[in-house]
Structure 1
Amino acid sequence: MINTLLHGGYKPILDKTALEEKTILDQWILEKAGDPVYRFGRQQFGVVDHTSQTEDLGDDSMRASTYGIKNLQRIIPNLGKWTGKEGENFDNLETMYGQVLGQYNRYMGHVTGNIGGVKETYKAYGQEGAVYEHASRDKQTRAMQFLQKELFSTPEWLIDQDIFNKFESDGAIERIRSTQVRTLNNLLDFGRMARLMENEEVNGTSAYGLLEMMQDLRKGIFSELSKGQTIDRYRRNLQRAYVERLEFIMNNEQPRSRFGGSSIDVEQSDIRPIVRAELKQLRSDAKRSIGRTRDQLSKIHLEDLVERIDLILDPK
């Protein structure tokens, strides 16, 4: 395999012992070290290495996914015209819309992998540098900004009633909720939290730590609260999902995985103190916002959030 990758085909090494052949192969590898064209990344079932993700091309997931979304936004308005045939039903339209949504989800996963991401570069004795390197602060903060803009702010372009009314009586609200919550829960994963804390311990103030990530996430998902703005139905669903996920973190340990990945003792870590602090801050913000908003459903929603948080922090 090494022979094939480095020299473009099978090339025998003649008249050499096994030890001599290994020395030659090692030299070939060293010659290509640092060249991303020849870098090998192992298959991941739970993404840790943000630079080695399935169907993620390039070296910047945020930029690549931005371009990808622009293409999807061109597809949606033309989907009916491009998939329909005279006299046929709308099954193909439904299928292709699902494919667009699936690709959008894939982009969200690629970007999420950058938060708490750790690059793995195979090395052996004699090669300089670390095998494991945490993603830069810039890359992680840009990933959070991307998710807030492209996913957690309601993706209106995906909500096209001219498409939905051809193949379903309802489902748009639930579809968007499911899409957002899938990434939210992935972001608030115990292993990811463990790596964010590890990064902060190793790299200090230059790291994007767990507390900062949690604060950025809350401020983005609940951005309406500071100005008493109306909270639309999609955002209300997302905000309830956020509180529900924090409740899960407060009451559960990390599930065991046969695929490995980062592990942590949640009870004895900083995770729950940080989550508790975020819940308290959110409760305080929600209480203040109740008096600011004029929208009745937003007011009811905020009152409900306060009661939910009360039950999490003080179970009866």
Structure 2
Amino acid sequence: MKAIDKKKSNTMSGVFRHMNREFLFSCIVWLAVCPLWGQTNFGIDAHLEDDRLLLELDEEVLDTPMHLVRLGVGYHHIQWSRQGDHILLSLSLIESQTGTLIPPIVRKPKIHKQLLGRFDIIADKGPDHSVVIDATDLFLKTHIQYEYYAKQNVVGELSFIDQVDRYPDQLIIRTQRTIEGSDGRKTIDADFSLYLLPEPMEPRLYDQRMAFNSEVVDIRLDHENQTWTGSIERWRLEKRNRFNGLATPIQPIVFYLDSQIPDPWRPHVKKGVLEWLTALEAAGFKDAIEVREVSHNMVPGTEQLKRTAMVHWDVDEKMWKNKSDGTSQCSTVRDQRTGEILRADVYLGGLERLAMEYFVRCAPLDSRAQKFPFPEDLMGELIQSVIAHEVGHALGLRDGNFGEYAYPFEKMRDTQWLKQMSHVPSIMSYSRHHHIVQPSDSIPTSLLMQRVGPMDLYQIKWGYLPLDSGQGEQYLEQLVRLQDSVPWYRYNFKKSPALGPDSSGEVGDNDDPVRSMVLALKNLERVMTMIASIGKGQKDDDLLMNVHERAIGLWYREMGHVLSMVGGYTVQLKSGDQNGWVYTPVPMEEQKRALTFLLENAFDLPQWLSKPAYLGRIHHSTESDQLLIFQIILLKELVSDRRMQRMEFMERVHGLEGLPEHVLAEVMEAMFKELVEKKVVVGKRRQTLQKALLGQFAYAVEEEGRVFSESDVSGRSPYIYTPFSKNIIAIELQKIKEKLEKGIRKSGESATKGHLTLCRRYWNEIGEYLGE
């Protein structure tokens, strides 16, 4: 492999701009004698002359699918074509092997063709040979739109092509770009790759019930319950004989380790990658993944490794504040005609964040996690777990809800179950570490880590198993139908807020969120007593503050998991041939149990949570009371328009009679319970929550003019409180009015009396809309 160094010549710049006849002639002569030209390995070659990029295109690459990749940003399926004395570069509709026409920019389906460049042919070797164009502006000035990537304002005079790297099957063009942004100018690396696409492989059709990405479905749009004729994203794994049973693939998936990964972490990164070997064995492939080191003759970033994967070290420990920033992530480059993954990049970052997340969940269960920094063995296990998750993305799996609300609660403290099944079915869920077991359970710390589980083996088998072309689709459907009897094989799209207990994340997940929360609270209390000690030896309280925020964030997510049961559904995505509901309400008694738990625990807080001993070290104002903000969010979500609509539907369609009335009555009684006490005293935190609840109901009753809007008729209405919800809200508000009057008379404490007086005034304003 050989790189072409940049050549500079200030005297040629004016000549090249004007492209006069003398320069054109010299260019033709130069092409004839330069040994590098005419030796293209895949139809394109390049040369830098006087800061200009010359591309030589063989006839064979014209009208042939290629990839143009902006490394680390995105890629496009492109075609070069000839128009007289010009070469055109365009994006156009992509013809998928499944029969689908894919728009060149997925999020803009109305764009069917986009011209990226029209280039003068400055040298032509004749029919069936190559042509030369000046492509400098394509890489320095042309705005090329990539998914989710904002336009950059390039400062032309401070941007240049730095180098061209030439390999047997691709070119890499490295540039330095100075861009103008709202925070000033900055110079960045902007590198590009050009290469031919392989012969199309056999696609596998996308199925919404499975967790694979598709070259058609934009995963950020969450198109639920829509049928797509697209192929899933996966690597080209093939056997010499597809019916050989367990066999080594012709070409395994090769993961290279970035040379920047520190030596202590390299074995753990490798283990994280190789966790997926067992899953690929379930699909019939032995030794389907290899892990290799980057050799010295590979350029930085190893972008030339087409049809391989790379694990990058994305942590600059010398950079101010960088260690705790960011997360690990994965990106892929795919052949959109078939879904074939051609390249995957895993970026390992946010190590301090990994440690803090583990501390707030497992410090009471793992003595290694009770002091920062963590020892190498523990940090290595955390790195292995997060790498395994990102490699799942590199194999084609997406984020979402994997078999949640399915494992039996009773098994969550069973060592044998945990060894065989893990505490969650999939490494791809966001349940994270096992934090509901108790210290007395003596669970080995290795079983607290999230790892590749049975759901992952099931998914990979469905996506990668070689099939008989005659009965393949039937067999795949049989695999999907296992979800009917094995609930932890079910997958649904990630939604926010959660639709139900099988759609939550970052929680202790099993089929009993309430009992799980009881155990989680016990461990969280233990964590809160440990937090003060982690600041010892630190230069400031930054770590203390960050861990505290993650601890109360965990409390909020766990409470949100319980909340999801109220007006919540379980989800099993189905095809048109399957019987039964896609959305099944959580049983009414379970909803009531969850509601009771919330009202007793989410809005009356223990002192260990609301006033930990170290709080004065990290906060100086009630404006920093994030816990109170979380309580308000939970309260408003509990009586939100969306939840009320779901409960009304459950009552009307599923027979959950009286559910909306019960929930509102219980909420109002619990939130204003002080008003029926012999001596009425309302604490400061409760005062804020009561006002927030009245404010939510004020919003509800003031919406009257929107009920029959045009958007409602079209079926695309915004979430609103229905007339039925407003009726029962009005009934509950009337009860509160009477309690407020009595509470003011019984209150002997001035702050409470003032609060209740304001609530009555607030109620009077609401009453105007109720006709009071």
Tell me the TM-score normalized by structure 1: 0.87
Indicate yes or no: 2:558 matched with 1:107.
yes
Q: Per-residue deviation at 1:173? A: 7.6
Q: Distance in 2 between matches of 1:7 and 1:40?
A: 10
* Residue of structure 2 equivalent to 1:272: 726
Q: Find the partner of 2:495 among 44, 50, 63.
A: 44
Q: Distance in 2 between matches of 1:121 and 1:222?
A: 38
More helix by share: 1
Unaligned runs of at least 5 residues, structure 1: none
Q: Find the partner of 1:123 among 552, 570, 574.
A: 574
Q: Find the partner of 2:691 among 222, 235, 240.
A: 240
Q: Per-residue deviation at 1:101? A: 0.7
Q: Distance in 1 between matches of 2:459 and 2:627?
A: 48
Indicate yes or no: 2:664 matched with 1:214.
yes
Q: Distance in 2 between matches of 1:262 and 1:35?
A: 36
SS in 1 for 2:664: helix
Which digits, 9 at most, give the CA deviation of each residue in 1:120-171, with x for residues without a partner?
Answer: 2123355443222111111111111111121111342212353121122223
* Residue of structure 2 equivalent to 1:69: 521
* Residue of structure 2 equivalent to 1:314: 768
Equivalent residues in 2 for 1:82-93 (5 A)? Answer: 83-86=534-537, 88-93=539-544
Q: What one-letter code is carried by the residue in structure 1 that aligns with 2:480?
A: I
Q: What one-letter code is carried by the residue in structure 2 that aligns with 1:6?
A: Y
Q: Find the partner of 1:54 among 505, 522, 525.
A: 505
Q: Distance in 1 between matches of 2:604 and 2:459?
A: 48
Equivalent residues in 2 for 1:164-183 (5 A)? Answer: 164-171=615-622, 174-183=625-634
* Residue of structure 2 equivalent to 1:26: 477
Moved more, 182-191 or 118-127: 118-127
* Residue of structure 1 equivalent to 2:648: 197
- Tell me, yes or no, if the aligned pair for 2:482 and 2:489 is still in contact at 8 Å: no
Q: Distance in 1 between matches of 2:584 and 2:717?
A: 14
Moved more, 65-74 or 95-104: 65-74
* Residue of structure 1 equivalent to 2:176: none
Q: Do the aligned partners of residues 126 and 297 (structure 1) sit closer, same or farther apart at CA in structure 2, a change above 3 Å counting?
A: same
Q: Distance in 2 between matches of 1:262 and 1:137?
A: 28
* Residue of structure 2 equivalent to 1:291: 745
* Residue of structure 2 equivalent to 1:80: 532
SS in 2 for 1:49: coil
Moved more, 90-99 or 124-133: 124-133
SS in 2 for 1:72: helix
* Residue of structure 2 equivalent to 1:301: 755
Q: Distance in 2 between matches of 1:304 and 1:163?
A: 34
More strand by share: 2
- Tell me, yes or no, if the aligned pair for 1:5 and 1:38 is still in contact at 8 Å: no
- Tell me, yes or no, if the aligned pair for 2:737 and 2:760 is still in contact at 8 Å: yes
- Tell me, yes or no, if the aligned pair for 1:283 and 1:305 is still in contact at 8 Å: no
Q: Do the aligned partners of residues 232 and 265 (structure 1) sit closer, same or farther apart at CA in structure 2, a change above 3 Å counting?
A: closer
**Higher relative contact order, structure no. (Cα contacts within 8 Å, ≥ 6 residues apart):** 1
SS in 2 for 1:165: helix
Q: Find the partner of 1:141 among 562, 583, 592.
A: 592
Q: Per-residue deviation at 1:226? A: 1.0
Q: Do the aligned partners of residues 265 and 225 (structure 1) sit closer, same or farther apart at CA in structure 2, a change above 3 Å counting?
A: closer
Percent of paired sites with the same residue: 23
Q: Distance in 2 between matches of 1:98 and 1:36?
A: 34
Q: What one-letter code is carried by the residue in structure 2 that aligns with 1:166?
A: R
SS in 2 for 1:133: strand
Q: Do the aligned partners of residues 104 and 26 (structure 1) sit closer, same or farther apart at CA in structure 2, a change above 3 Å counting?
A: same
Q: Per-residue deviation at 1:217? A: 0.3
Moved more, 237-246 or 150-159: 150-159
Moved more, 36-45 or 189-198: 36-45
Q: What one-letter code is carried by the residue in structure 2 that aligns with 1:221?
A: M
Q: Distance in 1 between matches of 2:543 and 2:682?
A: 34
Q: Find the partner of 1:185 among 624, 636, 646.
A: 636
How many equivalent pairs are there? Answer: 306
* Residue of structure 2 equivalent to 1:162: 613
Q: Do the aligned partners of residues 166 and 240 (structure 1) sit closer, same or farther apart at CA in structure 2, a change above 3 Å counting?
A: same
Unaligned runs of at least 5 residues, structure 2: 1-203, 205-209, 211-282, 284-455
Task: Answer with 1 or 2: which has the greater Rg.
Answer: 2
Q: Per-residue deviation at 1:198? A: 0.9
Which digits, 9 at most, give the CA deviation of each residue in 1:248-280, with x for residues without a partner?
Answer: 1122359x9xxx9996553x5212122222211
Q: Per-residue deviation at 1:71? A: 0.9
Q: Distance in 2 between matches of 1:46 and 1:173?
A: 24
